[in-house]
């Protein structure tokens, strides 16, 4: 497994400008992009996923080129086959847990039916212990249940890698610790490459095989083994 990332993007907001120039390479299975708020971590993750477009750059994961401005290569987010978990989980409020998970495999304009039957969806509902809440809506869930639902949605289409944007930021300290353990165990079980962004040193200590430190849109330190 390898991450080969080189991305440049100029962002403007009113009179403010932000220059993002991020370059790193790593063979880590669990790679953490670490830095303070405003460092450019989320923007970098979105460009890797294909949600945001860089001004120039290259993204290759596992030797597969997903984006290369010099070679005029740009795969869509769907073609990249990357599981993405947003910081706020981005669950659809009008869909049940089962429908939210099924949405990742759904094609067409209509939402999945409440009684959707899909073996892959059921696998992750069972795997994350979501059977008791499968018919509930996001506002009826605990923080941990929302995170597990978002993870299930990200994993249901068999991604080649998992991208996580501050996945524990909205949780209280005891729940963060428990869900870090769950995520570490899940990654080890699936052997799925994972790139996680955070500003929390506890996430680094518990989850990182290697760390890339980002500050003000630049890589401050190249990957080093986490302590």
Output Rg (C-alpha) for the chain, integer angstroms.
18
Higher-confidence residue of 104 and 142: namely 142
Mind listing the pLDDT tens digit for each residue in 159-191? 999 999 998 887 888 888 888 998 999 899 999
Q: Which tokens belong to 219?
A: 């890589």
pLDDT exceeding 90 applies to what percent of the chain? 72
DSSP 54-74: -SEEEEEETTEEEEETTTTEE
Q: Are 18 and 40 in contact (CB under 8 A)?
A: yes
pTM of the model: 0.90
What is the pLDDT averaged over residues 137-143? 95
Q: Is the pLDDT of residue 225 over 50?
A: no
Mind listing the pLDDT tens digit for each residue in 43-97? 999 999 999 999 999 999 999 999 999 999 999 999 999 999 998 899 999 999 9
Q: Are 134 and 97 in contact (CB under 8 A)?
A: yes
pLDDT computed for residue 227 by the predictor: 38
Tell me the pLDDT band of 108, cut-offs 50, 70 and 90: low
pLDDT computed for residue 12 by the predictor: 80
Contacts of 81 (CB under 8 A, 6+ apart): 157, 158, 159, 160
What is the pLDDT averaged over residues 33-50? 94
Domains of the chain and CATH, by start: 3-81+160-225 (3.40.50.300)
pLDDT computed for residue 206 by the predictor: 92
Pairing between strand 82-85 and 73-74? unpaired
pLDDT computed for residue 222 by the predictor: 61
Tokens 């294909």 belong to 50
């Amino acid at each position: 497994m390898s991450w080969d990332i080189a991305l440049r993007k100029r962002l403007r907001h009113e009179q403010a400008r932000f220059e993002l120039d991020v370059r790193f390479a790593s063979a880590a299975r669990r790679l953490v992009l670490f830095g303070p708020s405003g460092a450019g971590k989320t923007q970098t993750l979105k460009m890797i996923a294909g949600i945001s477009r860089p001004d120039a750059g290259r993204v290759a994961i596992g030797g597969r080129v997903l984006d290369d401005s010099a070679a005029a290569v740009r795969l869509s987010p769907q073609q990249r086959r990357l599981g993405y978990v947003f910081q706020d989980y981005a669950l659809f409020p009008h869909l049940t847990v089962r429908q939210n998970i099924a949405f990742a495999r759904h094609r067409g304009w209509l939402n999945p039916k409440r009684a959707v039957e899909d073996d892959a969806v059921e696998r992750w509902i069972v795997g994350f212990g979501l059977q008791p809440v499968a018919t509930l809506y996001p506002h009826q869930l605990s923080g941990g249940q929302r995170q597990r639902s978002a993870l299930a949605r990200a994993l249901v289409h068999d991604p080649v890698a998992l991208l996580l944007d501050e996945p524990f930021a909205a949780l209280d300290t005891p729940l963060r610790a428990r869900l870090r353990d769950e995520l570490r165990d899940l990654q080890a079980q699936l052997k799925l490459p994972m790139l996680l962004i955070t500003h929390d040193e506890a996430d680094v200590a518990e989850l990182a095989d290697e760390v890339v430190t980002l500050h003000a849109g630049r890589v401050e330190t190249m990957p080093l083994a986490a302590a």
